[in-house]
Amino acid sequence: MRSSRSESVTIRGRIETVFYAGPQFSAGRLLNKSGEEVPFAGRLFAREGEAIVLNGHWSNHPKYGRSSKSKTWNTTLTWMPRGCPITWPITRK
């Protein structure tokens, strides 16, 4: 999963920990499919437990170290009227 800063990277997982979440920026750690914890930061409002796909590049912050710097993200909303699950993809840029 290592990439240089100029290469784009897509990371799928579930948000495990949110260190900071505001309306314009969030930082935290997600757990990917192989069980690896991946730090992330970007222009999104992150919530713990949310399944998410992050698109961006690797960044090395002087204080916090290597993390995925997200440019876009998407998740799904599930609505269950009368017990029938319907899922819509949500994409943010």
Average pLDDT of the segment spanning 75-82: 56
Can you tell me the distance from the alpha carbon of 56 to that of 44, in angstroms, rounded to the nearest whole number? 12
pLDDT digits (tens, 9 = 90+) for 36-67: 999 998 888 888 988 888 888 888 878 877 77
3 pLDDT exceeds 50? no
User: Domain limits of the chain?
Assistant: 9-92
71 pLDDT exceeds 80? no
Q: What is the CATH number of domain 9-92?
A: 2.40.50
Per-residue confidence (pLDDT) for residue 24, from 0 to 100: 85
pTM, rounded to two decimals: 0.69
**79: closest CA among 70, 89, 69?**
89
CA angle 46/48/49 to nearest 5° reads 120
Per-residue confidence (pLDDT) for residue 28, from 0 to 100: 93
Can you tell me the distance from the alpha carbon of 55 to that of 20, in angstroms, rounded to the nearest whole number? 19
Average pLDDT over the chain, rounded to an integer = 78
Per-residue confidence (pLDDT) for residue 67, from 0 to 100: 79
Q: Distance from first CA to last CA of the chain, Å, rounded?
A: 23
